[in-house]
Amino acid sequence: MTNELTHIDGLAYVIYRSSAVDHLRDEDLDDILISARARNEEKFVTGCLHYEDGMFFQWIEGPAEQLRQIIDLILKDERHRDIAVLGVGALEVRRFQDWRMRFSDRKNGSLMDWFACSEISTFDRKEYIGGVVTFLASLKV
Ligand SMILES: Cc1cc2nc3c(=O)[nH]c(=O)nc-3n(C[C@H](O)[C@H](O)[C@H](O)COP(=O)(O)O)c2cc1C
Residue nearest to atom 23 of ligand 1 (CA): 35
CA angle 39, 91, 111 (to 5 degrees): 75
Residue 27 dihedral angles phi and psi, to the nearest 5°: -65, -35
- The alpha-helical segments, DSSP class H, found in the chain are 2-6, 26-43, 64-76, 111-117, 125-138
1.10.10.10, 3.30.70.100, 3.30.1200.10, 3.60.21.10: which CATH number matches 2-106?
3.30.70.100
Task: Write the pLDDT tens digit of every residue in 68-125.
Answer: 999 999 999 999 999 999 999 999 999 999 999 999 999 999 999 999 999 998 899 9
Residue 65 is predicted with a pLDDT of 95
Residue nearest to atom 11 of ligand 1 (CA): 36
Which sequence spans correspond to the domains of the chain? 2-106
Q: With the CA atoms of 63, 66, 72 and 77 taken in that order, what torsion angle do they form, in degrees rounded to the nearest 10?
A: -100
Separation CA 110–CA 135 (nearest Å): 9
Distance from Cα 73 to the centre of ligand 1, integer Å? 6
